[in-house]
Amino acid sequence: MKDQAEKLRRISKKIISVASGKGGVGKTTIAVNLAYGISQTGRKTLLVDADLTLANADLILGITPKKHIGHYLEGNISLNELIEKINDKLDFIAGSSGIVKLNQLTENQMKKIKNIFNEWDGNIIILDLPAGIGKNVINFSLISQAVIVVINPDPVSITDSYALSKVISKSGFQGKIFVVVNMVSNPREKDIAFFTFRNVCQKYLGITPELLGSIPFDESVRESFRMQKLLINSFPKSKASESIKKMIQEIISKI
């Protein structure tokens, strides 16, 4: 598995996983808006809803996919039928919902997904991972150049995200770990959350996560989700949108 991961990391296209130790921290909203924003810079981007049992990235995109990755893994559809075009620069692969057997992908299924990434013609792949530290989270992280860990100021979020970082590091992840602190009320709250997380990772894991950015608590995020529209499109001048746009530039410069 580690050798295969290393080979995939060496390909020209970049794979970035967006993860979180617990649910409810805004991971999917961030992943979808990052993918869309990166595509707007002219880079061909593939957004993959890698939460294969409780997928919901399609809701944020405001679409109803006809096919999902489960159909492809079962051999019922081709890759062209699986990939849905959002615009000229953004492709989307939908996850499935309620299919328990996809909670832990087999080695053969994981190989099929790697083949998707190899065959897809583009620049950047964004994986919206399931929350937690399951087997799929580990396997997807290992084929990524970077993992963006989304936390919020809640101590439980920080603790669970440390556990996530520990698991992927101990499993052989050699890429970069970036941190997004979401739903912050003020800069001090952001600093406390990030430095607490970074310090425990340095002390116990010997790794130094890097701050990618922070996003303030913003009602426009909830409203965009209710509207099933992208935040950076529906509320482009909001504080949350401005923060995400800054992170897009950071990602492009660092990956």
Looking at the chain, the whole-number percentage of residues with pLDDT higher than 90 is 90
CB 53 within 8 A of CB 103: yes
Tens-place pLDDT, residues 98-144: 788 898 999 999 999 999 999 999 999 999 999 999 999 999 999 99
Give the rounded distance of the alpha carbon of 105 from its chain centre: 18
The two structure tokens encoding residue 209: 């996560």
Per-residue pLDDT tens digits for 177-235: 999 999 999 999 999 999 999 999 999 999 999 999 999 999 999 999 999 999 999 99
97 DSSP assignment: B
What is the predicted pLDDT for the residue at 7? 54
- 148 has which bridge partners? 18, 178
Cβ atoms of residues 214 and 185 within 8 Å: no
* pLDDT at residue 26 is higher than 80: yes
Closest CA to 219 of 239, 236, 244, 233: 239
What is the sign, positive or negative, of the torsion defined by CA atoms of 95, 99, 103, 107? negative
pTM listed for this prediction: 0.94
Helix (H, G, I), strand (E, B) or coil at 218: coil
Which residue would you say has higher pLDDT here, 66 or 21?
Answer: 21
* pLDDT score recorded for residue 255: 81
